[in-house]
Amino acid sequence: MMNRRQLLATMASTTLLATAREGFAQGAPTFRIAALNPITGSGAAYGAGMQKMILAAVEEVNAAGGAGGRKIEVVAEDTQSQPQAGVLAAKKLIEIDKVQGLIGIWSSGVALATIPLANDANILFMCTSGAPEITNPQVNSKGLVYRFNTTGDGYGRAFAEACAREGFKRPATMAFNNASGIGIVDGFRKAWEKNGGKVVEAVVYEPNQPSYRSELQKVLAAKPDVIVTGSYLPDTTIILREWFQTGDTQKWMLPGQAANPDLIKAIGPEASEGLFVVNSISNEMSTAYAKFDAAYRKAMNQPGTSNIYAAMAWDMVIVLALAMEAAGPNANVAAINAKIREIANPPGKQVSSFAEGKEALKAGKVNYDGASSAVDFNQAGDVLPDFDLSVISKGVITRKNIIKI
């Protein structure tokens, strides 16, 4: 809860912001974007942080004098993490607010339902969703869609590489039944079978169960030497607890979203001993990450590591602003879109903030090194971050090696 002083401070600052917004409207032309985030619904844990980071990044861009001579203006809407609500919100943003970009779409369901609207309106679309179809050329038909998150395929390839390095021969998979969980293990199976391997058992489980014993027994019956999971923290906790009780000794390989210090706390150092963790490396060493982390702590009172999607949302705004700057004054969406890969990918001077990039663009090309990843897009519009393989020992997660895919 807020106390009175904080409330007054918030009121004062929002009034200032509101007047500032009017000020822009009267002055220079603005470029209007939409923060279309999951504030309520299943993505609620991430949506608020994403939206606040979009606003914070925009503030930074505007403080540096705007991009391409224009200030950026944000209109926010809630997708309720539901496709139908997302479609109506997007229609409103496109038709009434006339936004030139939809930023920060989180769930695959909302993304797949709203991409056609962005295509029809010829505006930019930046999301963090995992479903492979999103950057399929049929869906991303106009090249306006950018995904700032790893795909399930990318994750799966990293898993396959990690299994090969550790010398496993008989992997099995367990997947949480949603697009992202299935995406990871499908990606793994494809990559593993391409190298002539075989997956001995693949189990898909329904979410929100109190116990996963029967699924676990089915996997263990195939006598795998490692179990690769496409899972989340709550279900992984239950599964590993039940596995520990069986006394089996095969290994586990978990995605980073499922294995963090909370997992070790929940199942104890004994059960977590020797678990492998494969994670995409959010660019934690970069200057951009430090900037994002500071902004996130200020806005949400939590460390930036707690919300990887907020780091992606931050990068979305900076990438867009740098592309606007590179495209020059009053560029249209097509011209801005044409510059996105140019400022995000090598070659060019490595920059980690908008102000720095704006300065460097005067001299030549830039390559934005983001908070969530290096932010280098491939032809389809996906980023390909690096991964690392860690192992949990005595209750501590230690990085073993880096995996480039």
Partner 1 sequence: MEAYLVAMAIITAIYVLLALGLNLQYGLTGLTNFGHVGFFCIGAYTAALMGQIGIPWPISFLAGAALAALAAWPLGLVSLKLRDDYFAIVSLGFSEIVRIVVTSEQWLTKGVQGITGIPKLLGFLGTGLTQSLAVLALLIAVNVLAGLANRRIVRSPFGRMIEAIRDNEEAVKALGKDPAGFKIQVLMLGAALAGVAGGFYAHYIGYIVPEQFIPLITFYVWMAIIIGGVGRISGAFAGTLILMIFLEGSRFLRGVIPFVSEVEMASIRLGIIGLALVLFTLYRPQGLMGDYTKR
Interacting residues toward partner 1 by CB under 8 A: 10-11, 14-15, 18, 35, 39-40, 47-48, 51-52, 55, 74, 76-78, 82-84, 87-89, 91-92, 94-96, 108-109, 112-113, 116, 120, 131, 133, 138-139, 177-179, 182, 206
Closer residue to partner 1 (CB): 121 or 405: 121
Backbone Cα Rg of the chain: 22
- Minimum CB separation of residue 199 from partner 1 in Å reads 16
Strand 387-393, strand 276-280: pairing? antiparallel
CA distance 367 to 369: 6
Rounded (10°) CA dihedral 387, 389, 395, 396: -60
Classify residue 328 as left (phi > 0), alpha (psi -120 to 50) or beta: left
174, 220 Cβ separation under 8 angstroms: no
Quote the crossing angle between the two packed helices 287-300 and 44-63, to the nearest 10°: 120
- Beta carbon nearer to partner 1, 133 or 376: 133
Nearer to partner 1, 35 or 277 (CB): 35
Measured from the CB atom, is 133 or 386 closer to partner 1?
A: 133
Exposure string for 310-343, b = 16+ CB within 10 A, e = fewer: bbbbbbbbbbbbbbbbbbeeebebeebbebbbbb
CB of 219 to partner 1, least distance (A): 18
Least distance (Å) from partner 1 to the CB of residue 55? Answer: 7
Q: Could you tell me the smallest distance in angstroms from the CB atom of residue 76 to partner 1?
A: 4
Dihedral angle computed from the Cα positions of residues 217, 219, 222 and 224, in that order, rounded to the nearest 10 degrees: -120
CA 306 – CA 302 distance, rounded (Å): 7
Query: Residue 122 Cβ, how far from partner 1 at the closest point, in Å?
Result: 12
Nearer to partner 1, 161 or 186 (CB): 186
The helix (run of H) or strand (run of E) holding residue 252 is: strand 251-255
Q: For residues 72 and 89, which CB has a smaller minimum distance to partner 1 in the complex?
A: 89
Q: Output 177 or 302, the one with its CB closest to partner 1.
A: 177
